[in-house]
Structure 1
Amino acid sequence: MKKNLLSIIILALLVINLAMNGFMLLSVMTTNSQTAKLISDIAAALELEASGGAGGGFSNSNSGTVGVANIATFGYTGDNNLTISLKPGADGKTHYMLADVVFSMNTASQDYATYGSSESLASMSDLVKAKVIDVLSSYTMEELQADMQTAKDQVLEAVQELYGSNFIYDVSISAIYS
C-alpha cells in the first residue's frame, strides 16, 4: 500500500512539474516574441535590414556585397585630379595634396538609373568636387597620412548626403602630398 501511495505522489509531482514547465515555456516565448518585435521596430526606424543588405542609411556598410558586374566608377583622375590646399600643420606651413578620387557606384541600386547617368554625373560634378575639397581641406597633411580612412568615410558620407542616396557606396583616394 505504501508503494502505491508513493507512486501516486510521484505521479502528482510529475504532473505539477509538467504544468510548471509549460507555463514557463509560454511566458519565455511571449517575452521572446515581444523582444523580437521591438528589435524589428527599431531596425525599421533606423532603416536597417536583417540581412545587412543594400537598404537604408548612409553608412559605408549599407551596400552589402556588390558584385563586380554591378560596379561602375567615376571620379577625378589623370588630368582631372584635384589639387587641395590642406589646413596648416604643426610646422605652420600650408601643404597641398594632389588627389585622384574615384567613387564606386552600385548599378543594381534603384537610384543609379536616376543619378548614375553620364549627364547626371556631369551636372553634379562641381558639387561633388566641392564636397570632396571641403572635407579634405579640413585636415592637415599629418592627419591624412596617419588616418586616411576617416577622411574617406567623411567624403563618402558628404556625397551620399548630397545625392540623398547610397548608390555611391565607396570612395578611393590616392594622394601625393607636398
Structure 2
Amino acid sequence: MKKNLISVIILALVFANVVLTGLMVFTILPETQKANSLIENVASAINLELKNGSGATTADVPIENIETYQLKDGEKTTMTINLAKDEDGSSHFAVLGISLSLDKTSEGYTKYGTAALDEKSTIILNDINDIVRQYTIEQFNADTDGVKKAILKDIQNMFGKDFVIGVNFSTVQTQ
C-alpha cells in the first residue's frame, strides 16, 4: 500500500512539473524572444554608430576593392612642405609623394569618384600642407603614422568616412 501511495504522489508531482514547464514555455518564451530581438536591434545600432564614427580603414576593405589615387601638384607627384621650426630656429622641409586609398565599393566612390579628387586636388594639397607644416622635423620623423591619420581625418571630413580609407606616403624625404 505504501509503494502505491508513493508511486501516485510521484506521478502527481511529475504531472504537475510537466504542466508548470509547459506553462512557463508558453508564457516566458515569447517575452524572451521579444527581449532578444530588442537586444539585437540595439546592438546593431551601436555597431553602426561605432563603424560610422571611425570610418573604414584599409584593413577593413579587401585589397581588390581598394584603388590608389596619386595626388599631383600639376605634373609633379611630390610636394615640398616647410616644417615647423626647431627649438634652435633652423628651417626644415619634407618632400612627400602622397597617394590616397579609395574604397571602390563605397557610396562615396560612386558619388565622387576620382574626378572629384582631380577637381579638388588643390584644396586637398593645401590642407595636407597646413597639417604637415605644424610638425617639426623630429615630430614628423617620429610619428609619420600620426601625420597620416591627421591627413586622413581631414580628408574624411571633406568626402565622408567611407570614400578615402587611407593615406600613403610613397616618398618621404626630410631635411
Structure possessing the higher relative contact order (Cα contacts under 8 Å, 6 or more residues apart):
2
Pick closer, same or farther for the CA change 1:61–1:165 going to 2, 3 Å: closer
Superposition deviation, residue 24 in structure 1: 5.1
The one-letter code sitting in structure 2 at the alignment partner of 1:4 is S
- 8 Å contact from structure 1 (residues 73, 105) kept in 2: yes
Out of 145-154 and 106-115, give the one that drifted further: 106-115
Instruction: Please list every run of 5 or more consecutive structure 1 residues that lacks an aligned counterpart in the other structure.
Output: 49-55
Cα deviation per residue 1:5-56 (whole Å; 9 max; x = unaligned)? 3322431453266247525544443322211122233445x284xxxxxxx5
Match of 1:31 in 2: 35
Pick closer, same or farther for the CA change 1:29–1:6 going to 2, 3 Å: same
Out of 98-107 and 19-28, give the one that drifted further: 19-28
1:3 equivalenced with 2:6 (yes/no): yes
Cα deviation per residue 1:58-102 (whole Å; 9 max; x = unaligned)? 624388324436524222489331111222345543321111111
- 8 Å contact from structure 2 (residues 56, 161) kept in 1: no
Pick closer, same or farther for the CA change 1:16–1:92 going to 2, 3 Å: farther
Partners in 2 of 1:169 and 1:41 — Cα distance? 22
Out of 127-136 and 35-44, give the one that drifted further: 35-44
Structure of greater Rg = 2
Task: Name the SS of the counterpart of 1:132 in structure 2.
Answer: helix
TM-score relative to the length of structure 2: 0.74
Partners in 1 of 2:163 and 2:105 — Cα distance? 8
Residues 58-137 of structure 1 aligned to structure 2 (within 5 Å): 59-61=55-57, 64-68=60-64, 71-76=67-72, 79-118=76-115, 120-137=116-133
The one-letter code sitting in structure 1 at the alignment partner of 2:124 is V
Match of 2:159 in 1: 163
TM-score relative to the length of structure 1: 0.73
The one-letter code sitting in structure 1 at the alignment partner of 2:37 is S
Partners in 1 of 2:20 and 2:85 — Cα distance? 75
Identity percentage of aligned residues? 19
